[in-house]
Amino acid sequence: MAEHIQQHPELLIDKSLQRLNRDRDPNVGPLRIYITDEAGQVINTTRVSRVFRRFQLMAEEANHPISHQFRNELIFGPYQFEVESKTYNLFGRFPDNHPRPWFFFLVDNKLLTAGFAIFLSGLLCGLLAWYLSKPLRSLRLSANALAKGDLANRVDAATANRRDEMGQLAIAFNGMADAIETMVNNQQRLMGDISHELRTPLTRLQLSLALARKKGQHSTELDRIEYEALQQEALISELLTLSRVRLNASEKRLTAELTETLSQVLDDAEFEAEQQGKQLLINIDESISFEHLPKTLSRAIENLLRNAIRYAVKTVSIETTQSKNHITIVVKDDGPGLPEAELEAIFTPFYRPDSSRDRESGGWGLGLAITQAAIYAHNGKIIAKNRLPHGLIVTIDLPTN
């Protein structure tokens, strides 16, 4: 096109240049020509778009021929040539022929680009938060289980095998849990061993008392010694039971019906309630059968029923419900209840509430501790709540799988 103008300089006169876009070779395609003079003014058309003006500035800044793909057109140039000692610049434009790279769309649509960036960053942050919170959630669950007495609970292997700080924290937590479990188990074994060893001198003391009685020796002092010896025997027996239950060393798990396990306990409780002029209501589904520790579970329920009968005014009830994976046992009484602050403390060894449920029982505060240990041995939960208008409700939740 430049050579054609150089050969025919008369085209630069009048409006001949305006016909260049109409008379060009049809094989070239939809090409549009722009010719500018030394002042940068387009001389072959009066309709100049803002896009072309923008390209002119880009070309001047580059100081060499360039091409740029705009939204709907590709503009290239300038090609510089001279006609009669005057300098002219030639530009070309192809409308809609060259597809733009996808990222140009983002450049032209800044709000959409910002929205996409916010969405993408939010998605990445969400994935990062999930990646970081998953091991933390596992650590939290294990810590809560350990705090509730489940000393065998550990952080899962997937978290412990991570090669980052979370994995190191999980390994450290599991090491701490191993040390705590070993320490507590050793303490329980020590308590059991001490209680067992105390029985030997206590047995000798009782034998000496029996011999003194046989020889006809009777006195208030001997009666007092005999009473205290019996109290010590009962206390040692309770301590041994608590130690065995916590160590799960007393028996093996069996699959049996709940009514079969509790039959003797319920008979004894009914008899005890009748002797005190109270009523025991039993509502246990005979079809409930699951794997459990029969002696341990029956001892736990026996302690609950005895406490409930001791403090009830008229009525004590025990009922069970079964769901897909759990069995719930509820023991209720219509006694005076407990202060809210003591509802969790009653399961602590040697704790006896300073209330209407006080030291009248003459016990040592080990019954409910044994009950809690028995429930924990089944991986279950036990909760005590006050009953309206008065009374106490103890709920046991046992998993069946």
Label residue 99 by pLDDT band (50, 70, 90): low
- Helix/strand/coil for 51: helix
Q: Would 2-101 and 109-250 be classified into the same CATH topology?
A: no
Position 7: which residue type?
Q
For residues 357 and 337, give the distance between their C-alpha atoms in angstroms, rounded to a whole number: 8
User: Once rounded to an integer, what is the mean pLDDT over residues 87-91?
Assistant: 92
Domain ranges of the chain: 2-101, 109-250, 254-399
CA distance 379 to 305: 21
Query: Is residue 356 over pLDDT 50?
Result: no
Q: Phi and psi (nearest 5°) for 300?
A: -65, -45
Lowest mean pLDDT among 40-54, 93-107, 153-167: 93-107
List, in sequence order, every residue forming a beta bridge with 92; answer none if it has no partner.
33, 76
Higher model confidence: residue 250 or residue 229? 229
Class of domain 109-250: mainly alpha
| For the chain, percent of residues with pLDDT exceeding 90 | 25
User: What confidence tens digit (pLDDT) does each residue in 147-187 have?
Assistant: 877 778 888 888 888 888 888 999 999 999 899 888 877 77
According to DSSP H, which parts of 215-276 are helical? 220-247, 258-275
Query: CATH says 254-399 is which class?
Result: alpha beta
What positions carry a catalytic annotation? 196
pLDDT digit string (tens) for 267-300?
999 999 999 999 999 999 888 999 988 888 998 8
How far is residue 1 from each of residues 33, 38, 91, 94, measured CA to CA in Å?
A: 9, 18, 10, 15
d(C-alpha 85, C-alpha 72), whole Å: 36
User: Is the pLDDT confidence value at 266 over 90?
Assistant: yes
d(CA 84, CA 13): 12
Q: Are 326 and 398 in contact (CB under 8 A)?
A: yes
DSSP string across 326-348: EEEEEEEE-S----GGGTTGGGS
Check: pTM over 0.85? Answer yes or no.
Answer: no
Q: Which of 219-233, 240-254, 377-391 has the lowest mean pLDDT?
A: 240-254
Pick the CATH number of 2-101 from 3.40.50.1000, 3.30.450.210, 3.10.20.80, 1.10.3720.10: 3.30.450.210
- Of 5-14, 37-46, 100-109, the range with the highest mean pLDDT is 37-46
Q: Which of 372, 390, 384, 267 is nearest to 333 (CA)?
A: 390
Question: Over the chain, what is the mean pLDDT?
Answer: 82
